[in-house]
């Protein structure tokens, strides 16, 4: 029976029976895995912060006879991200990150870049950066890693290169911006600010340690938020409870 060791983020926790929990983790070496941890909810056990949402843990686990089902043997907390947990706004966005990762991944599909993105985003969220800004960066990088980034440098209708200040509209059905000559190809395409296109393009192409330096106006920031939300809804068809909560409480 093979024993494995890795680090991973808690994406989901569910109570099972009286004393056990069912965990979903996104790990560095194995991608998303599902595990059962027995006896952790018994009266003699203290509260385990390692099992809390978006905690980073070092785990030891092994596979049982049924393939794809794992039993957690050891779990040690690496990072609780305490600074995030001091703010409802930051907790909400951290929960959004892990729910989104859970929804777009399948078990046992390793993606180190996605793991590193989640780690860096939570570290960034632990600082002074605006949670909304961190969320937009996370969404853009995630779409890029999934191969779902919209076309921004050239027209999605005719492949013509677009100038930085050229009139453009964003088409969800075409998966990117349309030049003025192709506006008629999608009557539902919406106008988009040049600054919005520029911001998304720069975030996609810059390394994570540089993205925090990019400044945008409130108008561009609001449009980027709406655009990415609608784009994710259109192409991934996800109904995320955390995003609904963020909208409800206005954080």
**Is 58 among the domain residues?**
yes
What tens digit of pLDDT does each residue of 73-85 get? 999 999 999 999 9
| 5: pLDDT strictly greater than 90 | yes
pLDDT at site 43: 47
pLDDT in tens, 81-114: 999 999 999 999 999 999 999 999 999 999 999 9
In a domain, 217, yes or no: yes
The span from the CA of 78 to the CA of 189, in Å, is: 46
> What is the average per-residue pLDDT within 8-33?
91
Helix (H) or strand (E) holding 240: none
Same domain, yes or no, for 75 and 118?
no
96: in domain: no
Counting Cα atoms < 13 Å in the Cβ hemisphere of 132 gives 16
* Residue 88, domain member (yes or no): no
What total of structural domains would you count in the chain?
A: 2
**CATH (domain of 239):** 1.20.1440.120
- Do 59 and 6 contact (CB within 8 A), yes or no? yes
* Parallel, antiparallel or unpaired: strands 20-27 and 3-16: antiparallel
Residue with tokens 């800004």: 133
- Indicate whether 109 and 54 sit together in one domain: no
Q: Do 43 and 126 belong together in one domain?
A: no
24 & 129 share domain: no
State pLDDT tens for residues 41-75.
544 455 468 999 999 999 999 987 566 679 999 99
Structural domain boundaries, residue 17: 3-80
3-state secondary structure of 188: coil
Q: Is residue 91 part of a domain?
A: no
Q: Is residue 95 part of a domain?
A: no
The answer to whether residue 7 is domain-embedded is: yes
Looking at the structure, do residues 135 and 209 belong to the same domain, yes or no? yes
Contact (Cβ atoms closer than 8 angstroms) between residue 150 and residue 227: no
Q: What is the mean pLDDT of residues 233-251?
A: 89
Are residue 219 and residue 165 in the same domain, yes or no? Answer: yes
> Which pLDDT does position 227 carry in this prediction?
96
Q: Are residues 70 and 170 in the same domain?
A: no
Q: Name the domain boundary from 80, 111, 145.
A: 80
DSSP 8-state secondary structure symbol assigned to residue 150: P
pLDDT (average), residues 235-247: 91
Q: Are residues 112 and 233 in the same domain?
A: yes
pTM for this predicted structure = 0.92
In angstroms, the CA 56 to CA 75 distance is 10
Q: Which 3 state secondary structure label does DSSP give 75?
A: strand
Is 97 a member of any domain? Answer: no
**Above pLDDT 90, what percent of the chain?**
77
- Indicate whether 62 and 165 sit together in one domain: no
Query: Are residues 69 and 109 both part of a single domain?
Result: no
Angle subtended at Cα 50 by Cα 54 and Cα 83, rounded to the nearest 5 degrees: 55
Element (H, E) at 76: strand 70-79
d(CA 220, CA 87): 25
Q: Among the three residues 50, 80, 110, which one is the final residue of a domain in this structure?
A: 80
| pLDDT confidence bin for 19, thresholds 50/70/90 | confident
Please check whether residue 44 is in contact with residue 28, taking contact to mean a CB–CB distance below 8 angstroms: no
pLDDT band at 168 (very low <50, low <70, confident <90, very high): very high
Question: What is the DSSP annotation of 202-235?
Answer: HHHHS-HHHHTT----HHHHHHHHHHHHHHHHHH
Looking at the structure, tell me whether residues 111 and 76 fall in a common domain. no
Looking at the fold, whether 119 and 73 belong to one and the same domain comes out as no
CATH code for the domain of 8: 2.40.50.140
Among 32, 48, 80, residue at a domain's last position: 80
At 125 the pLDDT is: 96
User: What pLDDT does 113 receive?
Assistant: 95
């Amino acid at each position: 029976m093979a024993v494995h060791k890795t680090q991973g983020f808690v994406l989901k926790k569910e109570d099972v029976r009286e004393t056990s929990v069912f965990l979903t983790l996104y790990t560095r070496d194995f991608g998303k895995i599902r595990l059962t941890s027995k006896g952790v909810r018994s009266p003699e056990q203290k509260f385990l912060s390692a099992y809390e949402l978006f905690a980073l843990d070092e785990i030891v686990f092994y596979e049982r006879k049924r393939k794809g089902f794992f039993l957690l043997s050891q779990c040690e907390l690496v990072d609780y991200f305490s600074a995030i947990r001091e703010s409802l706004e930051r907790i909400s966005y951290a929960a959004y990150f892990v729910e989104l990762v859970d929804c777009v991944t399948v078990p046992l599909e390793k993606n180190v870049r996605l793991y590193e993105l989640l780690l860096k985003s939570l570290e960034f969220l632990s600082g002074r950066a605006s949670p909304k800004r961190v969320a937009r960066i996370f969404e853009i990088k995630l779409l890029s890693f999934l191969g779902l980034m919209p076309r921004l440098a050239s027209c999605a209708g005719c492949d013509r290169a677009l100038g930085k200040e050229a009139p453009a509209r964003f088409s969800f059905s075409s998966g990117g911006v349309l030049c003025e000559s192709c506006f008629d190809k999608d009557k539902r395409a919406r106008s988009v600010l040049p600054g919005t296109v520029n911001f998304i393009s720069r975030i996609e192409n810059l390394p994570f340690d540089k993205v925090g330096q990019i400044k945008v106006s409130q108008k561009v920031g609001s449009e980027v938020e709406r655009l990415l939300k609608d784009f994710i809804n259109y192409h991934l068809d996800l109904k995320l409870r955390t995003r609904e909560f963020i909208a409800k409480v206005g954080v």
